Amino acid sequence: MLSTPSGYASMERILTQALTIGDIAESLVSLDATATRDEYIRIAAQRGFDIVGARAEGLVMGFVNCARLAPGAAPADIEFVDETAIIDQETPLREAILVLDRHPRVFVNALGGIAGIATRDDLEKAPARMWLFGILTLIETGLRNIVRNRHEGDAWMELLSPARAKRARAMTDERARRGETVDALDCIQFEDLGNLMARHEDVRAFFHFASRRAAERRMKEWSKMRNHIAHSQGYVRANWPLIVRVAGETGGVRRLLDIQ
């Protein structure tokens, strides 16, 4: 089960290591570096991409941004690939996101050369959505365990607003009526969980939240982003700084188990 240390650690390992940039990258179409502007523009239109690789001696050494390219028979304007924007196809998603925070695109190495490309928009694809939703679920699970350890029974309920507490009780009763075994803490919203967490200084310090208000605001943002992911809505462009923050903190998610 995810609520057990072994289950939590297994899920963290899957999310931080198994999903890679290769799961969302696109193949990079390429032409010889001597090709004309018209040839680059034509292949870009056929494939539906702005970026086309430029080959020299059979290997991609640069690229042409066809969205900025004027037509003509002259050679295309080739930009060389920044070495810091080249990553291996087995690079974990969290690491790739940190590279994408510094570059508009990453070039993906496979079979000895650049063979793929990925941009921030590729994080809208199912594997990346699964990754981010899973990370947020791990955080949520860790926080629920902390609340359980620090509050006897449903004592935490007194810290919620009357309306939120009433909603949690109603949902608990409804799920019990359907024959589900669940406690009230499993029925509160992510945002409510954040409000409970924000009261604990050591938990705020774990996430580098400067204040209780900052913690509550961030949890509200996480909750909204997770809802967008769950309902297949676009989320990357509006939440990019938040995604980078989650990626940067992913490596320490397991340490949530150490907070009692």
Q: How far is CA 250 from the centre of its chain?
A: 9
Total domains in the chain come to 2
The domain boundary, picked from 95, 122, 149, lies at 122
Q: Are residues 207 and 98 in the same domain?
A: no
Question: 116 and 158 share a domain?
Answer: no
Domain that holds residue 219: 126-258
Whether residues 198 and 231 share a domain: the answer is yes
pLDDT tens for each residue of 96-145: 999 999 999 999 999 889 999 999 999 999 999 999 998 888 888 888 88
Residue 146: what pLDDT? 87
CATH code of 37's domain: 3.10.580.10
Q: Are 122 and 112 in contact (CB under 8 A)?
A: no
Q: Are residues 130 and 201 in the same domain?
A: yes
- 54-63 LR contacts (CB < 8 Å, sep 24+): 54/30, 54/78, 55/30, 55/31, 56/32, 59/113, 59/114, 60/28, 60/30, 60/107, 60/113, 60/114, 60/115, 61/33, 62/33, 63/28, 63/107
Q: In this predicted model, what pLDDT tens digit does every residue of 56-110 receive, in sequence order?
A: 999 999 999 999 999 999 989 999 999 999 999 999 999 999 999 999 999 999 9
